DNA sequence: TCGATTTTGTAACAATTGTTACAGCACATG
DNA sequence: CATGTGCTGTAACAATTGTTACAAAATCGA
């Protein structure tokens, strides 16, 4: 349970306290193999689930069946925590194991007990919920970029940060395209065009910003 | 305070109880005129704000300065409730008064007091937060439609519902376009094309579904 | 009712993205 | 080293959306 005490939900609760809290509470440890579907879009969110091991991806299927990758989640983070309560407490994404996965699972009513028992847990929960809302809100903003070039400019400025230099893209073009909600050849073209226009130097996964001003301008164009 | 007791945050709390709860708590009533900016994207969300009178709109500015209308909010609903806590408790949208507006404003620390005082309030808060997350999630899904026709099919099927017949669009094309994140002439073209293709009959704001099957197919195409 | 303002309808052209297909490259494995 | 797999680069064409501009229609307020 080392990982569990590192979960942001238990911040400020030391391991002894955590054990005491979990004493009268029914939880499970669940395991999944690579590729297994942990939760399907539309399934009920009836439990708190915290990553103990491995990695999962959250994907949203658009109406035509194409997937938009929302994020990868690793320990010690919780899954779909914002969707546990409410009139329609369904999971809005497919959650799939990227590799072998181990989850701490706490049914909803046990979780409610925890919320009532521990003000620290309650406060952490509310912080995390608002962080999730900010994340979703930021995703909306990103999807509102009108052009692939705009999305790319935004993404590159984010991963490169304020210091110029070469970075290695952490994802394949296919994965990035899925994240951007566009097709891979189109993303490749945008990279090529921006390389040819002198904004970046792109060699495979290696990217260097050549003209940060132009890149920021592209960002502002959306 | 009639409106306040109707707010979903106070569901299950009768007016006497509500008065008792608010007794030791510092709140304000704020007024705004049509067009006034109530909160700006990036402003701190340090208070619970509940609509008492009037109507406000939440808009997100995209990088190029174009606005995407997120929603209109009326009494007795709370504003930006999902963003009050967390590391980055900033408001992600501009909130502008559509007309004369009156708000109940409760500073964050007073709100925390309420959460600790009333389990009903706490439960209602968690329900509403999850409802907001579902709403944001649905917005992401909507923005992932690839075509304007797809967005329109989705929107029309939503407002018409399962019963065929003529509906009057509740918003101008310009407003709908803003909501869809597209331009007004392009939206008009999509409406015209779908009219010409026999999916709908469109006369100004009046829309009748002619071929629901084709419309659902269009929805599936994204 | 009239004038002002807003909304709708539309065309033509430009820009961007999607689709399909294939070749070449990089990396891992036997 | 050879082979298989996954990724990248790219072209050509099709489809969709944005932009600009203007006329007509609808709505609103005095």
Q: Does residue B63 surpass a pLDDT of 80?
A: no
Mutate to test the interface with A, among B83, B85, B216 (most CBs of A within 10 A): B85
ipTM: 0.90
Q: Is the CB of A189 under 7 A from strand C?
A: yes
What pLDDT does residue A3 have? 86
Q: Phi, psi at residue A170, to the nearest 5°?
A: -80, 0
Q: Tell me if chain B has a CB within 8 Å of the CB of A158.
A: no
- The domain ranges of chain A are 2-143, 148-221
According to the model, what pLDDT value does residue A93 have?
A: 93
pLDDT at res. A205: 87
Options 1.10.3720.10, 1.10.10.10, 1.10.150.20, 3.20.190.10; CATH for A148-221 is: 1.10.10.10
**Residue A173 CA from chain centroid, whole number:** 18
CB contact under 8 A, A220 and B181: no
Return positions of chain C under 7 A from a protein CB.
Answer: 6-12, 16-21, 26
Q: Grade residue B126 by pLDDT with cuts at 50, 70 and 90.
A: very high
Q: What is the distance between the alpha carbons of residues A120 and A5, in angstroms, rounded to a whole number?
A: 13
How do residues B127-184 score in pLDDT, each as one tens digit?
999 999 999 999 999 988 989 999 999 999 998 888 777 888 988 999 999 999 999 9
Distance from CA of B5 to the nearest CA of A (A): 19
What is the spatial distance between Cα A21 and Cα A106, in angstroms, rounded to a whole number? 12
pLDDT score recorded for residue A1: 67
Fold of B2-143: Jelly Rolls (2.60.120)
**Average pLDDT, rounded, for chain B:** 90
pLDDT of B80 reads 93
Residue B182, classified by CB atoms within 10 Å of its CB into exposed (0-12), middle (13-18) or buried (19+), is buried
Residues 52-71 of B with CB under 8 A from A: 60, 62-64, 66, 68, 70
Regions of chain A short of the pLDDT cut 50: none
Res B40: pLDDT = 92
Per CATH, B2-143 and B148-221 having the same topology is answered: no
Given B83, B127, B222, which is nearest A62 (Cβ)? B222
Cα of A169 to nearest chain B Cα, Å: 23
Predicted local distance difference test score (pLDDT) of residue A35: 81
Q: What is the rounded CA–CA span in Å between residue A91 and residue A37?
A: 13
Please state whether strand D lies within 7 Å of residue B191 at its CB atom: no
Q: With a cut of 70, say whether residue B1 has pLDDT above it.
A: no
């Amino acid at each position: 349970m080392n990982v569990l005490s590192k979960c942001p939900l238990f911040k400020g609760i030391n391991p002894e306290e955590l054990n005491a809290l979990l004493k009268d509470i029914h939880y499970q440890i669940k395991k999944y193999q690579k590729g297994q579907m942990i939760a399907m879009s539309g399934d009920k969110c009836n439990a708190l689930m915290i990553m103990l091991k491995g990695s999962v991806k959250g994907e949203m299927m658009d109406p035509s069946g194409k997937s938009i990758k929302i994020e990868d989640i690793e320990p010690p983070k919780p899954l779909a925590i914002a969707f546990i309560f409410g009139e329609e407490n369904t999971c809005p994404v497919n959650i799939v194991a990227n590799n072998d996965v181990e989850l701490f699972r706490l049914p909803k009513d046990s979780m409610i007990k925890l919320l009532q028992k521990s003000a620290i847990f309650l406060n952490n929960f509310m912080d995390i919920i608002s962080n999730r809302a900010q994340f979703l809100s930021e995703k909306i903003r990103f999807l509102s970029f009108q052009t692939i070039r705009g999305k790319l400019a935004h993404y590159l400025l984010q991963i490169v940060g304020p210091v110029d230099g070469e970075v290695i893209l952490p994802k394949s073009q296919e994965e990035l395209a899925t994240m951007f909600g566009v097709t891979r050849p189109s993303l490749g073209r945008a990279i090529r065009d921006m390389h040819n226009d002198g904004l970046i130097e792109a060699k495979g996964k290696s990217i260097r910003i050549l003209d940060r001003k132009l890149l920021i301008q592209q960002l502002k164009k959306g």
